[in-house]
Structure 1
């Protein structure tokens, strides 16, 4: 795909500054069951954990909350089960000011869950889709009017691929720009990729997304050349997240740019990527340059890891602006 094709398919509305951009999130809602432990058990081993928490999560819901806290008007489209977790998930989004008219309750099905184990500031996650697996293209079509009125459509891959594609084609039909966070990792066919304006994979997801399985574990010149070649397949459209190291992206002429990470005290990395995606979606919907949008997103992601919980650590607009200005978190100021 060349630069002229990208330019031709880019909706004009992203060129305008928007004081309160309207973002539609199509994606998952999960209840996160979080265990903190000093030792991850081997097979057949039982260990003591230090704490247990439940948090509202799911990549879709997380990114919706991130967008709302950073100043967007957000509509969530997804599915919950007819259990107590489902009601908790719904009420949590409503408390964040998110419109939940696009959320369907699936009778006789449990809500999605994510079992998260935190050890030494890193996490291991097992996701059970539940009602997210019942989220069909038909349900997306029922909420077509929400998508067509949006300034940006934000999606992930924790719901069926056909559902994600259906939402993308509705957005494309109405010239609504699309951001896809390809997580969990999955290969994407080239024809469908042309409908997406921005991709936000990490290194692992980028390789799988483009069908390139070469492993690069370091920031050696050869590794940077490798990632640059992959990013250059879609200039200005792939923003590769690198955790604490920030993000890589390319200019229109394929030059690799590295927006470096920020030094903060890490408490919980869960939800950092979702915060990055929410911040990037809001920044681009506001009409900011890709360079500025990535800088703001790296800062938002850094802020999020200074507190526990995927959504609990997500910054508000005021907190992000203060951090960008002073370089200090609320706990360090």
Structure 2
């Protein structure tokens, strides 16, 4: 870690209770299928990023919305056991927390259906002081008001602001983009933002739309994650690939969220955008190998070994 910098990251966004069924193959269509495994674990973009940060030895704070219900209570317990500090969260009476159903096949690929919750507060009550001592912040687009508050608090402090640019309500990414320094799309998120299927062409179109915004500045980052194919990054007017290690994936659920958390932690610790992307790639690959939801997060020692071994 660079002297004077901190591995403290404030994460704002969704937490989801994942119910995961393991199948030999994903269903080809409607019908009844027998699962050979089942588990209940935590999920959600910002919450999973926070858990990854804590597992890597960082200091992770999570702020989001929960209902005063069973899934909400379970998520609070899971976050605490994973070493994440939950801040300024008041479970909403009568609200329903987010829950997902996940089908995972033998190759680690999955189908995911998310109920995002309802009856949850619209405004964020994140206190300004929560950013004291932080080295970076991260938000997902599931709660635009929460992301906007986080980024507006972080901007005057000069903190790197990372947006996990996944599929979102119409206009959300465009509204949040001027407030971010690092805009990292999922592949589906980039297609939705640009209407272009081919990743390099989509990234070029995104760069055109974002011209002059912080993510295209010298200290910013604009990229798209592509799963087993690694990622692409917009640098010096072109799309530059970053390969991922070749692995035997057990479960890819949450790997993109883990990537974003590791990327934000690396920035908080003083890495530049290319270095943060390589660090995050190693972390996400290890997570895919391990599966097991929040319990399968890699630690710092395992990541350093993978980085030292390298990959093509």
The TM-score normalised by the length of structure 1 is 0.82
Q: 1:25: which partner in 2? A: 11
Q: 1:9: which partner in 2? A: none
Shift of 1:190: 4.9
SS of residue matched to 2:285: helix
Distance (whole Å) between structure 2 residues aligned to residue 18 and residue 270 of structure 1: 35
Residues 162 and 181 in structure 2, CA contact (< 8 A), matched pair in contact too = yes
Distance (whole Å) between structure 2 residues aligned to residue 231 and residue 170 of structure 1: 25
CA RMSD of aligned residues (A): 2.5
Q: 2:190: which partner in 1? A: 206
Q: 2:159: which partner in 1? A: 176
Q: 2:289: which partner in 1? A: 306
Shift of 1:28: 1.2
Correspondences of 1:259-298 after superposition (within 5 Å): 259-298=242-281
Distance (whole Å) between structure 2 residues aligned to residue 138 and residue 293 of structure 1: 28
Q: 2:99: which partner in 1? A: 113
Residues 271 and 309 in structure 1, CA contact (< 8 A), matched pair in contact too = no
Select which of 294, 309, 317 maps to 2:300: 317
Residue-pair matches, total: 301
SS of residue matched to 1:282: helix
SS of residue matched to 1:169: helix
Correspondences of 1:1-333 after superposition (within 5 Å): 17=3, 20-41=6-27, 45-119=31-105, 120-130=107-117, 134-140=120-126, 143-147=127-131, 149-159=133-143, 161-186=144-169, 187-188=171-172, 190=174, 192-209=176-193, 212-216=194-198, 224-231=200-207, 233=211, 234-235=215-216, 236-251=220-235, 253-326=236-309
Distance (whole Å) between structure 2 residues aligned to residue 42 and residue 229 of structure 1: 34
Deviations 1:88-124 (A, max 9, x none): 2112222222212332211222321111111342111
Distance (whole Å) between structure 2 residues aligned to residue 27 and residue 296 of structure 1: 23
Distance (whole Å) between structure 2 residues aligned to residue 168 and residue 188 of structure 1: 14
Distance (whole Å) between structure 1 residues aligned to residue 70 and residue 50 of structure 2: 21
Distance (whole Å) between structure 2 residues aligned to residue 43 and residue 246 of structure 1: 29
Shift of 1:300: 0.7
Residues 142 and 168 in structure 2, CA contact (< 8 A), matched pair in contact too = no
